[in-house]
Every structure is written in structure tokens, then in C-alpha cells.
Amino acid sequence: MTRLDSRRRRLLQLGAAAGALGVAGVVHAAGAAPAQSPSQLRIGFQKSAVNLVILKQQGALEKRFPASKVSWIEFPAGPQLLEALAVGSLDFGLTGDSPPVFAQAAGKELVYVGAEPPKPLSSAILVKADSPLRALADLKGRKVALQKGSSAHYLTVRAIDKAALQWSEFTPIYLAPADARAAFEKGAVDAWAIWDPYYAATELDLKPRSLTSGSGLSNNNSFYLAARSFAQTYPDAVVALLAELTRADAYVQSNRKESAQLIADFSGLSLATVHLFISRRPSAPTALLTPAIVADQQRVADAFVRLGLIPKPVNVADIVWHPSKANAT
């Protein structure tokens, strides 16, 4: 790491957003309101969005953006969140790797503005403890529940590839997480591809077996996305959001017990579930997308194209936001 990179990382951790993220000419001290704040800030999030949940529970964005009306809208999964963002009901949100690919292929007006580090252990393909399925190849001819267009979708794609099966050799059952769990419990499906905290809750409640985690298959990257118009109009607000998210992550890493309680209070999940969930989650400071992450995300897109699961090829780099170019786009 160069001295400049080291300095940028340190500044980001301290919350000096613009210097850390390479935003030309825009520097704000931690805790300072952005120079141009939106009149409203509509945040989309899921139970898995640890850093956003912490910010919500602490009222941090309401303090950082005192001139903005901050709204929080919860979604069961990324595809639903990005649909809301695309139709103008949201400004900013967090999803896994697959939802932005499907959204881009559908021509939605959104951009990648930030990313968290990989967390491959936070998703899995589950079977019941007494299931005869013991290996990924055993999925042949079986029904697998998953949320279409979610990170679990890509995990399933990679698992089927590893098993040397064709996509046509099993039956995907597209269900939202709550419906998928009900189908899994009833035995209506043979396996379930899912992510935390649904994974952790099921692990504790039902004691299933994991055929595989994302390890070696999917990096299970998480991305912050914004409406293109929002990122173009309020680039300094986006940078401030990313800095607040990194500050929230530092709080989680230093205050596990308090963080778990905040998440449990919000989500209704048991403390045991939350502790298991966050134990699988590495430190997750937020940063702009690196070339390596863009390349990884392009592999996700290419896999869906190859299987005919999205209507056309996409170039992920086309919708990656660059703060220094924001005012020129």
C-alpha cells in the first residue's frame, strides 16, 4: 500500500469522507453537514444491512443531515429495494451482488456508489438435517428455493457450476425469504439458498445442514447504490453517507454487545441470532468500488448472461459512480 493509499484509508476511518474517497475539491470534517443537502433522504435497507441499521438506531443521519427529512424503508431482499429505487421511491440503499445486475439489464437508472468487503460465509445452501442430499451434485432433479435476482441466486449458479450440472437439471423455486423458509420447513423444497440473518435464524431454529457456504463460490459482496439523479445532484451527500457507514462499522467492531442489542431491538431477531449473524461478518468499512470488485461483479453479470437469466449483456463499469466526475455527468 502506498503512503497516499494509507492516508486515504485512515482519513476514511476518521470520517473525513471526501479526502478518503478521492472526491475532488469536496472535504468535510466528520459530523459536518454536507454543503448541499437534499430536502429528503430516503434510505432503503434490509435486516442484513448492519451498518445502516446501526445508523438508524443511533439517529446518526438525522444529525448529519439536519436540513433533510430522513426516511427509512425496510425491504425483504435486494430486488424489491432496487425496484423502489428505480421508480423514484428511494434515494440510497444496500443490496447484495445480483440485484444491481438485474436492475442494470432492465435499464434502471441507478449507480454503484460504494462497496463493503466480501463476506462469503454469510450465505449458504441449506438442507434439512435428515435430508439425503450430501453433495452439490445431489441437487440434480431437486427443488431449490431462492429469491430471484438476489445474492442467493448467484450462489446457486456457482454451486450448480461446481456440481457440473446444467441449470435445467434442477428446479429453482423463486420465493422471498419468508415464503422460502415456510416452504423449506414444510418440505415443499429440497434445499434453500439464503443469506444472513435469515440463514442464522434458520440455523438456530431448525438445525439444518449446509451443503455449501459462499466460500470458494461467491464473494457475496454488498453494494451501496443510489438513484443516478441523486448521486449527480448531491455528490457530497453520498460521500458523507459512505463516511457515516464506515463510522458505524467501526462502532460495530468495537462494541459488539451494544451493536447486537441495537440490531435485535430493531429487527425482532433474538440476540443469539444476531451474534451468530455478525460473527460471520468481517469488518466492513465502506469505500468506492475498486477495479477488483468491479471485475468480480462483472463475473456475476456474465454468469447470468450465459444462462440467459438476464436479457442482455451489461458492462458493470458503466454504472460505477466516480465523485470527481459527478458534476460533469
> Which pLDDT score is estimated for 48?
86
> Which pLDDT score is estimated for 35?
53
Q: Does 327 have pLDDT greater than 60?
A: no
pLDDT in tens, 77-90: 999 999 999 999 99
Cell numbers representing residue 209 in the block: 445442514
pLDDT in tens, 15-40: 333 333 433 333 333 344 455 789 99
Its sign, for the CA torsion 99, 102, 108, 113, is: positive
- Rounded to 10 degrees, the C-alpha dihedral 282/101/197/140 comes to -110
> Which pLDDT score is estimated for 209?
97
> Which pLDDT score is estimated for 92?
97
How high does pLDDT run on average in the chain? 88
Rounded CA-CA distance 271/148 in Å is 29
Can you list the domains of the chain with their CATH numbers?
Answer: 3-118+221-328 (3.40.190.10), 120-213 (3.40.190.10)
> Which pLDDT score is estimated for 319?
97
Cell numbers representing residue 244 in the block: 457515516
In the sheet with 40-45, reading across from the earlier edge strand, the strands are 69-74, 40-45, 92-95, 222-227, 110-116
Mean pLDDT of 119-135: 96
Q: Are 313 and 305 in contact (CB under 8 A)?
A: yes
> Which pLDDT score is estimated for 143?
98
> Which pLDDT score is estimated for 3?
40
> Which pLDDT score is estimated for 23?
34
Mean pLDDT of 49-71: 95
Mean pLDDT of 89-115: 95
pLDDT in tens, 148-195: 999 999 999 999 999 999 999 999 999 999 999 999 999 999 999 999
| Structure confidence at residue 305 as a pLDDT band (50, 70, 90) | very high
Residue recorded with cell 434458520: 202
Higher pLDDT, 7 or 161: 161
Q: Does 127 have pLDDT greater than 90?
A: yes
Q: Does 240 have pLDDT greater than 60?
A: yes
Q: Are 75 and 45 in contact (CB under 8 A)?
A: yes
> Which of 189, 118, 112 is CA-nearest to residue 147?
189
> Which pLDDT score is estimated for 324?
73
Quote the distance between the C-alpha of residue 153 and its chain's center.
13
Its sign, for the CA torsion 214, 215, 217, 222, is: positive
Cell numbers representing residue 187 in the block: 418440505
> Which pLDDT score is estimated for 13?
38
Mean pLDDT of 286-295: 95
Q: Does 111 have pLDDT greater than 50?
A: yes
Share of the chain above pLDDT 70, in %: 88
Rounded CA-CA distance 85/106 in Å is 13
Higher pLDDT, 11 or 303: 303
pLDDT in tens, 263-283: 999 888 999 999 999 999 888
